Structure formats: C-alpha cells, structure tokens
Structure 1
Amino acid sequence: MVDDLVNISAFARRVGLTPSALRFYDDCDVLRPAVVDESNGYRYYAPEQEPRARLLRDLRAIDLPLPEVRRVLDGEPALAASVVETHLRTVEQKAAATRQAAARILGTLGVPAAAVRERGVTLGGPELASAIRQVTPSAAEGDELPVLACVRIELAEDEVTLVATDRYRLAVRKLHPQAFSGTPGAVLVRASELTELTRWVASAGSVQLDVTPTQVVLSRSEPHGALAGDVRELQVVEEEYPAYQAILEGLGPPVCRVLVDRLALAELLGAADVVALSIEPSQVTVEGSSPASQPSVPGGHLAALVSGEPLRIGFTARLLTAALHTGVGPDVLLEIHAPNRPVVIRSADQGTFTTLVMPTRLPEYT
C-alpha cells in the first residue's frame, strides 16, 4: 500500500481538486490523507480515496454546504440521494426567483421579453393546433386547483410534449420540433388562454415559442414561409405540476386490450350517466345507465378484437366520450389494467397521442 501512495499535488491532479482544497478538507475532517509524514507534515493519499475525493469535488461544485457534504459522503445511499435532491430543489427555486426578478428589471428597462428567453422551439402550426385541441379538454375547469387548469409544455431538442389532467383523465401529445435552442425545460400556461390561440396557430405555417421566466412568446410565419409579424403572449404559471410520468410508468402491462370502432363506441355511449363495458373474446357490450328518475339508456354490441381476459368495467360516460372524440382515425385501442386503474386509450393512426381515463364504480341501478 505504501508504494501506491501519492503526494498531495499528484492526488490533487488525479481528482480535480487543488492542494489547498485538500488541506482544507483535511482540517475539516472531511477527507483525511492516508498518511502524514510526522517529520515534515507532508500528506500522502491512497488510490482507494479517489472516488470519495471526486464525489466531494462534485458536491462542492453544486454549492452543497459542507455539513450536508459530510452527510452525503458518510450516509446511506438513500439519505445521500435525499440530501442532493433537496438541495437541487432549493437551487432551482432560487434560480427561478432570480430569473423572474431579472425579467422584471429588464421589463422596466424596456428590454423585450424574448431577449431574456431560456429556450425556443419552432413547431408546425397545424400540428400545434391539433395538439392544443386534443390536450386542453383534459384540463380542469374552475379555480379549485389552479395548477390543473394549466397545460404543461415540455420542450427539448427532439420532442415537445403537451400535458393536461383534471385527475380523472390525462392527455399527452408529443410533437417533433422543426428547430430548438437553449436548454430543455418545462413551463405551465393556462389551458383557457392556450385554447384561445388555436385558430391563430392553425393558420400559421410554423410557430416559434420563446420561453422567458414570465412569458411564452409566440410568433408565427405564413404557410409560404414569410413572417406574419404579429405575436401572442402567454403568462407563465408558477406551480408544481403533478408527477404524471410516475402514473404512466406505474401502470405495468395491461391484462386486456380492446380494438374497436372509435366513433361507433362513442355513439353507443349516448346520454348515459355511467356506462358499463362488458368485454368478451370478440365483442364489447355497452350498457348505459342512469338513475331511475331518468329515461333508460339503450345498450348495444360492437365487434372488437380482444386479447387478454374478459372483464366488466365502468366509466363516467362524458369522460369516455370526450376521450374518444379527441382521438384520430377509425379505430381506438383500450388498454385495461384493472377495473379500478386508469385505462390507456390510443389511436392506431396517431401514436403520439395518449389519453388516460379513470374508471368508475358501477352503480346499483345498472
């Protein structure tokens, strides 16, 4: 082991720290040398100390306070991860507050919002309009939970994702950008404000979205490529959006898949309050139900391609109808995991759009 020891300067070069930093961490009892020569005070380090030193370097690079650094270095992995994640949230909150303050200052100075943008993306106008029409109906209405009245827009170089949910349904549409600049990120805007821009967006050849700390600035070009000149602005909503990706990832494989005529199924739902879908090997039976005080709702049968186990599942009719009407193409695929788990609804003609609908307990009068 003695032959493997290196002096402080050589060790510093290996791990990306300065000799003075290593002396400081020795004094703080964070990273002790393997050996100290008592005759001259020289410090020597062993190869097995390099991983700890590199981790220490990275922790200080993210400005983690030294007491927290020691918790990460000496704690269990779960505790260490929690410390780093908590620090990251704090840093992000401070950065967001700094960006907002900077935007206000620049606004006071008359600097256009687009001049302080964090990221920008160009999308096809008709494609973006289609995504808005498909996603915004799944946002909540009213002010009970303002964050659910928003659409989350995730921007990256290879993909732009629009997401909306009211807790009973979830809509996710992915788009391929024509161009992207800046750093990947996400922003929330009010669904009602985004919906108002649908026709304006649809008539454009392409739409540029410039994201600033406080606004999403939209500018469009005409179908032949010329700049239209007018712009629209959406205010950024500062809220924490539900972790919808965890829901998607937690579903697991479905126990039953049903491929059925999309519009025919929507028509059978009619004016029912609640519908029951009885799924058999080659057909779906739709049983509509309403309280006794309301007229009865006729049922019906639809031919279907079914794989998996037969089952019976209930839905709030208006939620299922809305999900079917936002789809594309003649067929719809229902992926069922359990009668009490979200049902994934996909279109064979548009793999970039996914809807989840929560089932409901079937009432006694069905």
Structure 2
Amino acid sequence: MRFQVERGVLAEAVGRAARALPGRPAQPVLAGLRLTAAEGRLAVAGYDHEVSVRASVQADVVEPGEVLVAGRRLLDVCRVLPDGPLECTLEGARLAVTGGGTRFGLSALPLDDYPALPAVPVTVGELDAAEFAAGVAQVAVAADRDDTLPVLTGVRLELDGDTLTLSATDRYRFAVRTLPWRPLLPASDRVDAVVSARRLLEAARVPADSGTVRLALGDGTLGLLGRDTTATMRLLDGILPGYAKLFALPEPVLGVAERSLLAEAVKRVAVVTERHSPLRLAFTAESLLLEAGAGDDDTASVRLPAALDGPAVTVAFNPGYLVDALAALDAPYVEFALLGPGQRVLLAGRDSAEATADPGHRHLLMSLKSTG
C-alpha cells in the first residue's frame, strides 16, 4: 500500500471519519480508522457498532491496499505535519507518513479483527445539508440525556410528502422543526424513525458543507450521504410521543420580547438560582420582569421592554431549559404563547415584533407551578 495525498485533504477525511470513534471502545480495534487506497481514491472509515462514517478523497494511489491505525493518533499526526504533499506507505506492520522532512511510523492494528461496515440503505430523499444540520441542532437540545428510557434520547424523523419534521422531548420540553425536502418515495409512503440525538448531531455535521445531503433508511439504519462522506447510525426502538395536541393551545395570550436581550437577561439573573430553582417571567403590556430568588435567598431581577396582547401573566421556568430554547430559536424576536402559571408555554421565533411567528420551529416548555 502506497499513496500520496495533500496534508489538508488527509486531515479533513480523517477528521470526518474520527467522529465515529468511541470514547471508550469496547474492543481495541474500534479505536482504529480503516484506510483503503484504490483507483485514485483514499477511503477513511470509522465504526463503533452504532455509527459509521466513511470519507473518500482523491489521492495518487501507487499501490492499492488497506491498513487499520489508531484513529486519534492519526488525527494528531495530520494536525502537526506541515502543509504540502504527504507520502503514506505500509511497511510491514507500520504505516509510514512522510512530509516536509518529517516522518511518522504508526503501528497497524489487526485488520482481520475489524468488523464489517454496515450496508448503506436505500436513499429516500434529499435536502439542504446545512439546513438539516441546523435543524437537528435546534431540536436535539430537548432530547433526554438519561439513558433510562433510550427512545427519549432520540430525535424523531417524520417524512411525509415534501416535509421532513424533526422532533425531540425529555418530557419537560418538546422541540419541533420542519424542513422542506425532496422525497424519492411514492406519495403514499410515510416514514417515521427515531435515532440517537447525540449521534445524529455529530453525523449531520459531517456532510454539512456538501450542499445537499441524501437520507437513506432501511433495516434499522439511517444513512446520511454527502458529496464525499457517508454516515450510518442504528435506529432506536420505540417511537416518541406526538406533539400536535400539546402544541394546540386554546386561546393563548401572546407575549413578545427581543430574543438576544432576553437570553442575556436570563443568564444574568440565573446566577443566583440554585439547582432546579425556577426563574419567573412576569409579562405586562409594555415590559417583561425577570426575577430569581425570594424571601431570605439571594435575589436578582431585570426588566426588559416587551409586548403582551392580553392580561398580565406570570410564568416560571427551569432557567437552563429557557436558555436552550432561546438559543435554538435563532430569530430576532421570540413569541411566548401563554396559558398561565403551571401550564405549557409555546415559544416561536419572529422576524420582527409585529411579524407572525415562524411555524416551522417551535419549542414547548412546561411552566412550573410555583412562581414565587
């Protein structure tokens, strides 16, 4: 095995495939990246039985072949080598990487012990890669971090007609994002699947600069296909609950505030909150008062300009959940659809204080009953 490749090109391919490397591999070979050189291409692959990432780049292949080397060590080597062409040669049980007067010798791992990569399922449609990565990030914040109920750690993908809906919930909040996409399925087919939020978040970043990402589904596997990169991940068993009834609020009062100002104010006031302590938001016709603490506890408050289309109302939230929701909305203004203390509140972005809320991205939070 012998090939030449530019340092930056190799570093990019290794960096993408390394996203599949486990933090604590169950088997030593799973810490490796498989390099396959053939027909003018170099393929770099990582796999941990849950996720696989395969990156393919152009290379001058002198002698085709395969080798398995420690992935993170190879990534470190790629980072410190000087820019310019590299020559990589398999010398017995060692991969020699040479460039700019520097030479590294990386021990090869047993390739025969490396598991076969999963097959890529059938493509079911495509959409803008950057929009998909952003949409996943917007809903993944609402997924559960606790593996007690694995399905709640996932993001649900609903493919219906020309719409892809992403959703996630940990039972205390619920985020939903809809995106346009181009289906390759018959009009009658509707796909519903759940995949690990953490895994999907990482995998969606891989093809984000490809322009278009193709989604593939089948045999318990989701595939993301970019221009030169393919990622697969195992689907989770079970299904997330629906959100339609939760999001249908009967005659809510609408409050509007500038999102960036509110996000900064929440972080500022939350400094005095203890774990699980609520942050109170008191809406009036022209202002929003944020308060934390009460009685003999430390207290903080901030008043911001805001608008309300009905009677004054006070709600309370876990400040961390509110910060996550505001960061994910990515709009100049945020609309609160309010029912009252201890009831659900629906957040959505607005382009201006007077604009209609964006129906494509909504974030539901439960207002805490105790508002101080």
Q: What TM-score, normalized to structure 1?
A: 0.62
Residues 149-228 of structure 1 mapped to structure 2, 5 A cutoff: 149-182=153-186, 183-221=189-227, 228=228
Residues 343-362 of structure 1 mapped to structure 2, 5 A cutoff: 343-349=345-351, 350-362=358-370
Residue of structure 2 in register with 1:64 after alignment: none
Partner SS, residue 209 of structure 1: strand
Give a deviation string over 1:117-143, Cα, whole Å, max 9, x none.
Answer: 4x6120101100110110101000021
For residues 290 and 165 of structure 1, do their structure 2 counterparts lie closer, same or farther at Cα, with a shift above 3 Å needed? farther
For residues 138 and 173 of structure 1, do their structure 2 counterparts lie closer, same or farther at Cα, with a shift above 3 Å needed? same
Partner SS, residue 197 of structure 1: helix
CA RMSD of aligned residues (A): 2.2
Q: What TM-score, normalized to structure 2?
A: 0.61
Residue of structure 1 in register with 2:301 after alignment: 299
Taking the aligned partners of 2:145 and 2:278, their CA distance within structure 1 comes to 21
Does residue 123 (structure 1) correspond to residue 127 (structure 2)? The answer is: yes
Residue of structure 2 in register with 1:262 after alignment: 259
Residue of structure 1 in register with 2:251 after alignment: 253
Contact 1:282 1:305 in 2 (8 A): yes
Residues 34-45 of structure 1 mapped to structure 2, 5 A cutoff: none
Contact 1:336 1:342 in 2 (8 A): yes
| Match of residue 138, structure 1, among 131, 142, 163 | 142
Taking the aligned partners of 1:248 and 1:298, their CA distance within structure 2 comes to 31
Q: CA deviation at 1:290?
A: 7.0
For residues 125 and 292 of structure 1, do their structure 2 counterparts lie closer, same or farther at Cα, with a shift above 3 Å needed? farther
Taking the aligned partners of 1:269 and 1:361, their CA distance within structure 2 comes to 19
Does residue 147 (structure 1) correspond to residue 145 (structure 2)? The answer is: no
Does residue 235 (structure 1) correspond to residue 234 (structure 2)? The answer is: yes
Amino acid at match of 1:318: G
For residues 291 and 131 of structure 1, do their structure 2 counterparts lie closer, same or farther at Cα, with a shift above 3 Å needed? farther
Taking the aligned partners of 2:258 and 2:137, their CA distance within structure 1 comes to 21
For residues 147 and 291 of structure 1, do their structure 2 counterparts lie closer, same or farther at Cα, with a shift above 3 Å needed? farther
Taking the aligned partners of 1:359 and 1:195, their CA distance within structure 2 comes to 27
For residues 192 and 290 of structure 1, do their structure 2 counterparts lie closer, same or farther at Cα, with a shift above 3 Å needed? farther
Taking the aligned partners of 2:239 and 2:348, their CA distance within structure 1 comes to 27
> For structure 1, which runs of at least 5 residues remain unmatched after alignment?
1-109, 222-227
Amino acid at match of 2:266: L
Does residue 276 (structure 1) correspond to residue 245 (structure 2)? The answer is: no
> For structure 2, which runs of at least 5 residues remain unmatched after alignment?
1-116, 352-357
Amino acid at match of 1:185: V
Contact 2:159 2:165 in 1 (8 A): yes
Taking the aligned partners of 1:307 and 1:201, their CA distance within structure 2 comes to 43
Identity score, percent:
26
Amino acid at match of 1:316: N
Amino acid at match of 2:368: T
Contact 2:284 2:307 in 1 (8 A): no
Contact 2:204 2:224 in 1 (8 A): no
Contact 1:211 1:217 in 2 (8 A): yes
Partner SS, residue 258 of structure 1: strand
Taking the aligned partners of 2:350 and 2:176, their CA distance within structure 1 comes to 15
Q: CA deviation at 1:113?
A: 4.3
Taking the aligned partners of 1:287 and 1:351, their CA distance within structure 2 comes to 29
Give a deviation string over 1:308-330, Cα, whole Å, max 9, x none.
Answer: 11111111111111111111122
Higher strand fraction (1 or 2): 2
Contact 1:149 1:190 in 2 (8 A): yes
Taking the aligned partners of 1:133 and 1:111, their CA distance within structure 2 comes to 25
Contact 2:154 2:195 in 1 (8 A): yes
Taking the aligned partners of 1:131 and 1:113, their CA distance within structure 2 comes to 23
Taking the aligned partners of 1:276 and 1:318, their CA distance within structure 2 comes to 13
Q: CA deviation at 1:346?
A: 0.4
Q: CA deviation at 1:156?
A: 1.9
Moved more, 239-248 or 171-180: 239-248
For residues 212 and 134 of structure 1, do their structure 2 counterparts lie closer, same or farther at Cα, with a shift above 3 Å needed? same
Kindly tell me the number of residue pairs found equivalent between the two proteins. Answer: 242
For residues 239 and 321 of structure 1, do their structure 2 counterparts lie closer, same or farther at Cα, with a shift above 3 Å needed? same
Q: CA deviation at 1:111?
A: 9.9
Give a deviation string over 1:208-267, Cα, whole Å, max 9, x none.
Answer: 00110310111113xxxxxx2x31101111213213223223x2221x111101111122
Contact 1:121 1:155 in 2 (8 A): no
Amino acid at match of 1:246: K
Residue of structure 1 in register with 2:59 after alignment: none
Taking the aligned partners of 1:191 and 1:306, their CA distance within structure 2 comes to 35
